[in-house]
Amino acid sequence: MPDTVKRASSSRPGPSARIWAARDSILFSLSTLLLLGGVLAASADANALATILWTSSAGIGLAYSTVTIGLAVRRRQPSVDVIAWLALVGALLVGEPVAGAVIAVMLFTGGVLEARASVRARRELSTLAARAPRVARRQNPHGIEEVPVDRVAIGDRLLVGAGEIVPVDGRLTDAGVFDESALSGEANPVDRPAGDDVRSGVVNAGSAVTMVATQRAAESTYAGVVRLVEQAQSATAPFVRLADRFAVGFVPLTLAVAGIAWAITGDPVRAVAVLVVATPCPLLLAAPIAIMSGLSRAARHGVILKGGSPLERLAAGRVLLFDKTGTLTRGRPALTAIITAGPEPADELLRLAASLDQASAHVLAATIVKAARDRGLSLTPATDVRERHGYGVEGTVGGRVVRLGKAAWTLDGPVQGWVRRARRRAALDGSLTVFLAVDGQPAGVLLLTDPLRPDAPRMMRTLRQSGIRRMVLVTGDRADIAESVGRIVGADAVYADRDPAEKLAIVQREQQEAPTIMVGDGVNDAPALAAAGVGVALAARGATASAEAADVVLTADRIDGLADAIMVARHSHRIARLAAGIGMGLSFAAMIPAAAGRLSPTAGAILQEIIDVAAIGIALTALLPTRTHTVRLPQADLAVATRLHAQHDAIRPLVEQIRVVADGLGAVPPDLASARRLVDQLDSDLLPHELAEEQQLLPILDRALGPDPTGALSRTHAEIEHQVRRLRRACDDLGEHPEPDELTDLRASLYGLYAILHLHNAQEEESAFSLMPTEAARRAG
């Protein structure tokens, strides 16, 4: 078992450790009983017994504060317990044992409240570590054997039963249903087909499935999450250290006020009263509680902050730097278009390509197979499969010889016009090309693009509103693609073609101007993440070097969790300062009547107890829900959005067909039959979908975001309907031998509709479908 998992699973405290962990509660209970016992004794005129009980309670507090001061001296750290120690000594010396007893209860009350708040605040993080997988069921020639998770090797075939935790990262050999809420926050079960990657730590919510291990336990997602959690729980916030320094600075002021009151009046009781009310517990307790509450709330949004220090720096960040691939984009190519070169329909070409790619280990093969399955195409097992490294793959699918790969290898003969058009389009769009030949004849080309995350633009606008003043895109990709993405998300500056050293230099330069936040997901981002004021890594696909170097880790495959984390950090930071400021302000105000003799040590101790509880109560409000970037859709609205998103994705091939038909009108003779069939499909498929979105999707957006975001979408729905009706009239007016200007107008209308639909679909994904949880959107697609 990996060390991190061992610690999470086997570090069960013994009796002595449990007693030590409960020391604050034990001491609080004992000091409270002694205080109350003294009150009862005094009410029964047993004053001697009351004095003994109160003195004992004060003595316990004095001994405890003496130990804490001694430990601080050994560590060469300042300690504000010196004020409480002086107050206890003074109370006993001036004959105010009841005040000493109240001070002792006050000390231990603060410890109990802090411990309980910390337990509550850490709950979401601790739950992750507590449920780490410990065993795996491995298949071998003799059956199933149960082995410790650290003995699982890459390539082992594992069985995961219903309700069991996936022990290591792997690839499914059967379709399955999984509860991934522990890692991603997604509440609904996730359907994953055979061939999908599955992460350790998720729960099998369906029937038993088999999988092949792709990582050892120590390198799997869950072990990485446990390491991140341990770092988060062991770190300390700078504000807490600042609180210590500020509170220690309060000591000379307190001693000065107490000394002046004693010197002027000659009454040591007044000095003791000043010491009692000056105890800076509000600052020392409220700040850590608010910070821990912020860590807890961030964890609920799928964000792990490695302690209070990153939370502080995240709240202070003013410059946001981000990588492109895998951060603003999905990091995985998606099929965006199919250009046909002959009579074969686009779906048939995709079916043949995906059937062949089922047997390929190429990085793009999974994308093509997924695209075919998303369209509901029936795949056929390929035979005689031969893969030529660096060129492509060929084989037989249903009796037809299929070749897939680079144009120079796939296509014979001179370069044809459609090949040049495909290459030009791919170059302009930043797409990859996969050419296809069937039975020795050129058949078409598949275009694949790394799409922009639909949640990215809205998140960037939210961060602007939250105080981020400058946004910088830093990427190793080429300039034209980087600048296109930068324009869409609203970047202030774009640095393209940068290697890791150059990224590091840019971060360091920006850090000199203002506090920085760097967001990335790859190994090449790790140096920049480590150098930034705070580094944020996307680790939804496993713990990488970027996650190890980062201060903040997004465990869900969504970039908009960053906006939630920043908003939570700033809210918690504001609450920490508010709680500490109010508490210390009240303590300072109480010093005045104490020095004037209007507040006895006993009354001062009771007042200080009230101030402590009030400050801690304010700090705990950091746990309460506040406005965040993520919008939670009601189940009914989510169901409607999921259905419409599935239709939205199903319409994509029809949208691409508009451009294909427009290109075909330039042939001699023009392909008018395809144009008429297309208009029929637009009437029967596209317009009903747009109407359904107008009637059902836009009201959901109105409820979630307010009416303003839906105005442009509604206007575009009307424009799409207008353009389709115009195309219908244009096709109806065409004769058998149309004039060139009629064809030009028809082609212009098709290209215009194609552009409108592309923009409209991007707007819907950004403003509407990005509100859906990641896995709900994936299932719909």
Across 468-492, average pLDDT: 87
CA dist 106 and 90 (Å) reads 16
Q: Which of 24, 150, 169, 323 is catalytic?
A: 323
Predicted TM-score (pTM) above 0.75: no
Outline where DSSP puts E strands in 415-547: 432-438, 441-449, 470-474, 493-495, 516-520, 534-538
Q: How many CB atoms lie within 10 A of CB 379?
A: 18
> Residues 499-514: pLDDT tens digits?
778 888 898 899 899 9
CA dihedral of residues 741, 744, 745, 748 (deg, nearest 10): -160
How confident is the model at residue 776, as a pLDDT? 42
> Residues 303-319: pLDDT tens digits?
888 777 788 889 999 99
Q: Are 256 and 272 in contact (CB under 8 A)?
A: no
Letter for the amino acid at 13? Answer: P
pLDDT over 50 (residue 235): no
Contacts of 436 (CB under 8 A, 6+ apart): 349, 352, 353, 402, 403, 404, 410, 442, 443, 444, 445, 446
Look up residue 414 and give its DSSP letter. S
H-assigned helices in 684-736: 687-692, 698-705, 710-733
665's tokens: 């009108």
How confident is the model at residue 547, as a pLDDT? 64
Give bridge partners of residue 195 from the DSSP assignment. Answer: none
pLDDT over 70 (residue 119): no
Check residues 573 and 541 and name the one with the higher pLDDT.
Answer: 573
Q: b or e along 713-749 (b: 16 or more beta carbons within 10 Å of the residue's beta carbon)?
A: beebbeebbebbeebeebbeebeeebeeeebeebbeb
Q: What sign does the dihedral 423-425-427-432 (CA atoms) show? A: negative
| Total residue count of the chain as it appears in this document | 781
Angle at 297 between CA 586 and CA 471, to 5 degrees: 100
CA dist 258 and 245 (Å) reads 20
- pLDDT-derived band at 516 (thresholds 50, 70, 90) equals very high
733 is catalytic: no
pLDDT over 60 (residue 648): yes
How confident is the model at residue 403, as a pLDDT? 92
Across 640-647, average pLDDT: 85
How confident is the model at residue 228, as a pLDDT? 57
> With pLDDT > 70 as the criterion, what percentage of the chain qualifies?
84
CA dist 515 and 692 (Å) reads 46
How confident is the model at residue 366, as a pLDDT? 82
Contacts of 503-510 with C-beta under 8 Å, sequence gap 24+, read 503/323, 503/474, 503/476, 503/527, 503/528, 504/528, 504/531, 506/321, 506/472, 506/474, 507/321, 507/474, 507/531, 507/532, 510/319, 510/321, 510/470, 510/472
228's tokens: 């991140």
State the pairing for strand pair 516-520/319-322. Answer: parallel
* Residue 244: its H or E element: helix 238-265
Contacts of 283 (CB under 8 A, 6+ apart): 243, 246, 247, 250, 580, 583, 584, 615
How confident is the model at residue 10, as a pLDDT? 39
How confident is the model at residue 230, as a pLDDT? 57
Across 518-535, average pLDDT: 78
Contacts of 330 (CB under 8 A, 6+ apart): 450, 451, 452, 453
CA dist 654 and 753 (Å) reads 12
Check residues 202 and 445 and name the one with the higher pLDDT.
Answer: 445
Reported as half-sphere exposure (CB side, CA atoms, 13 A), residue 418 has a value of 18
How confident is the model at residue 333, as a pLDDT? 84
How confident is the model at residue 509, as a pLDDT? 92
How confident is the model at residue 673, as a pLDDT? 84
How confident is the model at residue 778, as a pLDDT? 47
CA dist 135 and 581 (Å) reads 50
> With pLDDT > 90 as the criterion, what percentage of the chain qualifies?
10
Percent of the chain as helix, strand, coil, to the nearest 5: 60, 15, 25
How confident is the model at residue 388, as a pLDDT? 81
- pLDDT-derived band at 284 (thresholds 50, 70, 90) equals low
Q: Are 91 and 272 in contact (CB under 8 A)?
A: yes
381's tokens: 């097992």
Look up residue 451 and give its DSSP letter. P
656's tokens: 């691409």
Q: Which of 597, 524, 543, 615 is nearest to 271 (CA)?
A: 597
Distance of CA 7 to the CA centre of its chain: 25
How confident is the model at residue 721, as a pLDDT? 87
Sheet holding 470-474, edge to edge: 303-305, 552-554, 534-538, 516-520, 319-322, 470-474, 493-495
> Residues 316-335: pLDDT tens digits?
999 999 888 878 888 778 89
pLDDT over 60 (residue 546): no
DSSP sequence for 114-174: HHHHHHHHHHHHHHHHHT---EEEEEETTEEEEEEGGG--TT-EEEE-TTPBP-S-EEESS
How confident is the model at residue 779, as a pLDDT? 46
Q: How far lies 395's CA from each of 338, 372, 403, 406, 613, in Å?
A: 20, 18, 7, 15, 75
* Residue 533: its H or E element: none
- Mean pLDDT estimate for the chain: 80
Q: How far apart are the first and last CA of the chain?
A: 37
How confident is the model at residue 78, as a pLDDT? 64
- pLDDT-derived band at 236 (thresholds 50, 70, 90) equals very low
Across 410-434, average pLDDT: 80
Look up residue 483 and give its DSSP letter. H
Across 433-447, average pLDDT: 90
Q: How far lies 521's CA from each of 688, 692, 781, in Å?
A: 40, 37, 24
CA dist 498 and 501 (Å) reads 8
CA dihedral of residues 648, 776, 765, 497 (deg, nearest 10): -120
pLDDT over 70 (residue 246): no
How confident is the model at residue 3, as a pLDDT? 39
Across 91-113, average pLDDT: 79
CA dist 201 and 208 (Å) reads 16
Reported as half-sphere exposure (CB side, CA atoms, 13 A), residue 262 has a value of 15
